[in-house]
Amino acid sequence: MGKALEGVRILDMTHVQSGPTCTQILAWFGADVIKIERPGAGDATRSQLRDIPDVDSLYFTMLNANKRSITLNPKTEVGNKIFAKLIEECDVMVENFAPGAIDRMGFPWEKIQEINPRMIYASIKGFGPGPYEDCKVYENVAQCTGGAASTTGELEGFPMVTGAQIGDSGTGMHLVAGILAALFHREKSGKGQRVVCAMQDAVLNLCRVKLRDQQRLAHGPLKEYPQYPNGEFGEAVPRAGNASGGGHPGWIVKCKGWETDPDAYIYVILQAMAFEALAIVIGHEDWLEDPDFNTPDARLPRLMEVYGEIEKWTMTKDKMEVMDTLNPLNVPCGPILSMKELAEEQGLRATETVVEVDHPERGKYLTVGNPIKLSDSPADVDRAPLLGEHTEEILKTIIGLDDQEIDAAREQGAI
């Protein structure tokens, strides 16, 4: 069984989270990912949020698995030549520096194409072309400017960002799709192309249902939102607490132990076809004959009352008992799982979605493995490289330098 991207070589000029997420997925699929890092310093995340002194952080090690690391400064004379040779020898170049940084190193897209017409050059930027295109952007800026924050949070509360890294990792995953499409296209055209993904655009894509609701708002209140029927709707889609974004209403309800356990909750969805079973199990058979409750439309103005009755029942059981009771009844529900519970979940270990990796300096650590499973192309998860661990190996085998040339490059601060 071969790796899906075996034979594809990636020139990885990424840092922090968004770009590394993209190249880590490509590496899991078997691409040879060569991460270029600034000599002496490396990716800034190596030293950010460190939990162990002088050891590469989990921030870095969990985003750079299966890659090779070379230190190289393309702004030096020798470094520039080595970088040009790497462009010649690679299939894809990925970067997520501030706008213009790669151009300032002397490598605008035209030059890259000239060196290697088959090169696919993929970038992540904060914004697409327009008034904000030169701005630097981090995760929460993207969440705020892409529509996630304005639509997330308590009904009357502040805009809220989510813990899911939809701006960084979300954009990185979008970029993977663009790179794979360009690789497929190159098979037919023989030519590379430019792939660009803006974080604002990726977040908006993930908030697609909220732009749907913005347009529905013009035709009346959003009846599945908790603001209906008593609250006021303004001109824009409001924050809706934990209301479901889909066609079936849903809410988070308390379970046994909620007073002391911050995660003793479960999400319950009122799917119409399963409502009868749900009503019976919580002791509300009366709803089945009651015209105020026995159709989805009748329930809409009474959703909070329905959730309240469900909660009276869920509060008598722990969240896993609720899950075990409702699932056989086909009632969609999901316990609120803490990171502790996820780290210990044996099912996720068995599927290698959570993987334990051994690192020469930090010892064993947990990481999230490849969530995309291919039947014939397994994705083994290896540790992240140390800074410059593969510099000599890459300079000798790909660039063709000998020991003397490598020493000279080191003396000039190029590597």
What is the closest distance, in whole angstroms, from the C-beta atom of residue 181 to ligand COA in the complex? 20
Question: Does 126 interact with ligand COA (rule: CB under 6 A)?
Answer: yes
Q: Please report how close the Cβ of residue 369 comes to ligand COA at its closest, in angstroms.
A: 21
Among 5, 8, 11, 16, binds ligand COA (CB under 6 A): 16
Beta carbons within 8 Å of 394's beta carbon, 6+ residues apart: 34, 68, 70
* CA gap 263, 195 in Å, rounded: 41
Name the residue with tokens 């089945």: 288
Question: Considering the complex, what minimum distance in angstroms separates the CB of residue 367 from ligand COA?
Answer: 17
d(CA 401, CA 277): 71
Among 52, 133, 136, 208, binds ligand COA (CB under 6 A): 136
388 binds ligand COA (CB under 6 A): no
Catalytic residue among 12, 32, 168, 318: 168
Go through 314-333 and write b for each residue having 16 or more CB atoms within 10 A of its CB, e for each that does not: bbebbbeebbebbeeeebbb
Which x/- pattern, by CB under 6 A, does the window 39-78 give for ligand COA?
---------------------------------xx-x---
Structure tokens at 322: 């609720």
Three-state SS for 233-278 is: CCCCCCCCCCCCCCCCCEEEEECCCCCCCCCCEEEEECCHHHHHHH
Choice between 37 and 91, CB closer to ligand COA? 37
Site for ligand COA contains 105 (CB under 6 A): yes
Please, what sign has the CA dihedral across residues 19, 24, 25, 26? positive
Say whether residue 95 binds ligand COA (CB under 6 A).
no
Q: Which residue has the tokens 């590597």?
A: 415
Cβ nearer to ligand COA, comparing 71 with 244: 71
Contacts 24+ apart (CB under 8 A), 307-310: 307/251, 307/253, 307/268, 309/282, 309/284, 310/253, 310/268, 310/278, 310/282
Among 38, 81, 185, 317, binds ligand COA (CB under 6 A): 38
Asked whether 326 and 281 are in contact (CB, 8 A), the reply is: yes
Q: Based on the shown chain and the rule CB under 6 A, indicate whether residue 17 belongs to the binding site for ligand COA.
A: yes
Smaller CB separation from ligand COA, 7 or 100: 100
- 36 near ligand COA, judged by CB under 6 A: yes
Binding ligand COA (rule: CB under 6 A), the pick from 124, 331, 355, 401 is 124
In the bound state with ligand COA, the residue whose beta carbon lies nearer, of 16 and 90, is 16
Question: What is the rounded CA–CA span in Å between residue 138 and residue 184?
Answer: 30
Exactly one of 40, 48, 101, 181 binds ligand COA (CB under 6 A); that residue is 101
Distance CA 246, CA 249 (A): 7
286 an active-site residue?
no
Taking every pair of C-alpha atoms in the chain, what is the biggest distance, in angstroms? 87
CB of 196 to ligand COA, least distance (A): 11
Q: How far is the CB of 174 from ligand COA (least distance, A)?
A: 12
Number of residues that bind ligand COA (CB under 6 A): 23
**By three-state DSSP, how is residue 389 classified?**
coil
CB of 30 to ligand COA, least distance (A): 24
Which residues carry out catalysis? 168
Binding site for ligand COA (CB under 6 A): 16-19, 36-38, 72-73, 75, 96-98, 101, 104-105, 124-126, 136-138, 168
